[in-house]
Amino acid sequence: MLSFISLVFIGLSLIETIRQRTTSYKPKILITPQTFFLQCNKDGIPAIWKNEPEDFYSANMTGSTNRVQIELYNAGVGPGIDITCKWDFDKYKIIEGFLGLSNSSPNLVKFDTSNNTVTIRSIGEKSSYSIKYKLFQNDEKYITTISSIPPFSDNHNPKIEFPRSFSMFLSVYSYAMTVMKKTEKIAIDTPLRLKMSYYDTAEKKYKNSKEIFFSFTNLSDGLIQVNEKPLHGNTNFALCLFHMK
């Protein structure tokens, strides 16, 4: 009897040891929460994406308007290895959204369904012109691979880029909103989906997926605060928030 009890105890101890070892190097890759400020650009590009509060005060319109990035971090206790990130979204919903903007704001946005090309008109004080962008191009990046993400690496967290067609969709929405000086909150009903797979140091595979939903609000004086002080804005900016499911 004692031998049987001893064997059971040893077996339970071994199971617990394996569980603890597995937990000790389990990674957990997540998306860092972020807020974007979209500045309406008078030079014909739909919107300048900024994601730092101090950038809000800067009139500098540098950077790419159609290359938006989000940050990943590892909330686990072990490194994530061979991470694959894959974007997915409903292209037909994006086309419907552009057609809706084209119908509601024909002086600002035009969409050609024959070749999936959006035309954005810039209406400036001195001159007006337009730019064209073709959606779903062959070089558009939907899959990103990352060699590893160590746990709690705040200073070395990698960033992955949104698909450019989806970024353009958000930029044009913001542009139309700011030019028309709409102040109501607008929620985008088309989510951007991110599927991730990665391994731990024992080569165990993990999978994770998130749906990202976006909403816009025109900024006005005192609408939001930074460091307990009102962030004074104007209708040349839109605040882009996202939440995940």
CA 214 to mean position of chain CA atoms: 9
Residue 179: phi and psi, rounded to 5, are -65, -40
Compare 69 and 235 and report the one with higher pLDDT: 69
pLDDT tens per residue across span 192-206: 999 999 999 888 999
Indicate whether this model's pTM tops 0.85: no
On the question of pLDDT at 178 being above 50, the answer is yes
Cβ neighbors of 185 (< 8 A, separation 6 or more) are 215, 216, 217
Which residue is it, tokens 């929620």? 187
Cβ neighbors of 165 (< 8 A, separation 6 or more) are 91, 94, 135, 136, 137, 140
pLDDT tens per residue across span 62-113: 544 556 888 899 998 889 999 999 999 999 999 998 898 888 888 888 889 8
CA 213 to mean position of chain CA atoms: 9
For the chain, give the DSSP string: -HHHHHHHHHHHHHHHHHHHHHHHT---EEEPP-EEEEEEPTTSSSEEEE-SGGGGG-----S-TT--EEEEEE-SSS-EEEEEEEEE--HHHHHHHHHHHHHH-TTTEEEETTTTEEEEEEE-SS-EEEEEEESS-TT---EEEEEEE-TT-GGG--EEEPPHHHHHHHHHHHHHHHHTT--S-EEEEEEEEEEEEEE-TT--EEEEEEEEEEEEEE--TTSEEETTEEE---TTEEEEEEEE-
On the question of pLDDT at 28 being above 80, the answer is yes
On the question of pLDDT at 177 being above 90, the answer is no
pLDDT tens per residue across span 146-173: 999 998 776 678 989 889 889 888 888 7
